[in-house]
Amino acid sequence: MGFQSKLLGLCLWLLFASSTVNENGGEGEAEGGGFLKGIVVINGKSGIGNIDDDFVCATLDWWPPEKCDYGRCSWGLASLLNLRANNHLVLDCFAAFSPLKIRLGGTLQDKVIYGTEDSGQPCTPFVRNTSELFGFTQGCLPMHRWDELNAFFKKSGAKIIFGLNALAGKSIKSNSATGPWNYTNSESFIRYTVSKNYTIYGWELGNELSGNGVGTSISADQYASDVAVLRDIVQNVYKEVEPKPLVIAPGGFFDANWFNEFITKSGKSVDVITHHIYNLGPGVSEDLVQKILNPSYLDGEANTFSGLKDILRSTGSSATAWVGEAGGAYNSGHHLVSDAFVYSFWYLDQLGMSASYDTKTYCRQSLIGGNYGLLNTSNFVPNPDYYSALLWHRLMGSNVLSTTFQGTKYIRAYAHCAKQSKGITILLLNLNSTAVETEVFFSNNTRSLWHRSGRAREEYHLTPKDGNLQSQTMMLNGNILSVNSGGEIPALDPLYVNPSTPIRVAPFSIVFAHLPYVVLPACS
């Protein structure tokens, strides 16, 4: 018995599993049984990455109601300037995470001035003007509104990352912003924030100005100089405060050459390197669902994660990698796709993939606003991805395990040390119309470390209502997830399953499986 018998069993299972998979990688049903067989193989010796305990992050943006894409105006009153703070349901959605990181920023952050006493400019709102950069005039954050927001953030327990205006003082010509950053207004705003004892987790400089930029760009050399100035400001203003906020940049799309130069020249000025992801293309696209369900397409973003990881390692940087903004489909997403069940395949795959490349935090665009909000823009009721994010937050621990799936390419598999026990949690995404039954095996003889002790496996099966992938209603273990009459978030209770049985993943469904009885060296 021992390791050799387990290895023999693994080989026999692989042989049987492979015999049930058709040459298209599992697109049809297996003969007779109506399901495919496969295995999850986990290396339990050591982790391959480590994420923050508050890995899940969401954004709040500046877009006013006049922000429209493809004839649809989807932002409503979701802006930092007009969002109704102190809404009971929103506070409950925050509280369920305890804490939730919130990144305040977006395209218009580089046109925001801060209405401090010494700003020297009128504090006026954004106005739609198509001839202006980003389609709007300069706007202003009044300090009374900043006070309101911070009162709300304090109640919610959120950890706040604020995106500062990196274009202040620059000359913009031919898609290039030149000259040093005029930090005067930003420094005044930071000093005001400290004087009011508002807690900021991180200050981020600029939005989508790296590489070729969006609208305009800043050279890597100049950006590094500007970030060094921000570092000095933070060190000075927070001289008597500990811990000091993180200095974060550049909040743009990954360009290997630009990022390599920026990281090299920034040295220790920057604590976190942020990049943005909109890998599904424009929100108007009609093939978004097909892209989301295509494993080869999903695999493409691995190049970004691995590229940034390699640069951080090769430069010897102490900075960590975050996804600072990710909405999947740009220009506000797509109604009944980015706010529907099907988007959880893209979103959870992104969380799993980014974590496996040692990304520490992943900020979803958005918490509220556009067609990709975790919460409905009008009534703040959670969309399906909110529940996906909450399950991830509660179940997936900080240590990431090397995980592969064998049997069909249409299962995406990720595993972490569990957050609620000394065991592990496995995430399985079935992108196919055929059910899959999977066993769990461990490489390097780590299966001998299983301790069942009569404990059940806990499973969370996510499916769309009526089998409609574009439904905005998610089911957990066959029950509709919805807030109750009092506006409270539903309990997310598992099924308890005999650990000797395979994990069954229904067609086009998602399963979190918590195995509390598995004790691995990587998790001890």
Catalytic residues: 208, 325
- Amino acid letter, residue 80: L
E strand segments, 278-407: 281-282, 320-326, 329-330, 359-364, 396-406
Partnered with residue 69 across adjacent β-strands are 72
> Rounded distance, CA 267 to CA 271, Å?
9
Beta pairing class for 202-205 and 246-253: parallel
Taking CA atoms, 218 is separated from 44, 104, 124, 138, 167, in Å, by 44, 21, 26, 19, 9
DSSP 490: P
Q: Which of 350, 499, 329, 474 minimizes the C-alpha distance to 412? A: 350
Cβ atoms within 10 A of the Cβ of 500, count? 7
Q: What is the DSSP letter of 139?
A: E
Question: Measured between alpha carbons, how far is 287 from 151 in angstroms, rounded to an integer?
Answer: 42
Of 252, 249, 218, the closest CA to residue 234 belongs to 249
Please compute Rg for the chain using Cα positions: 24
> Environment class of residue 390 by beta-carbon count within 10 Å: exposed (0-12), middle (13-18) or buried (19+)?
buried
The DSSP symbol for 127 reads -
Which structure tokens are listed for 153? 């953030």
Structure-token pair, residue 12: 């026999």
Structure tokens at 400: 């990431």
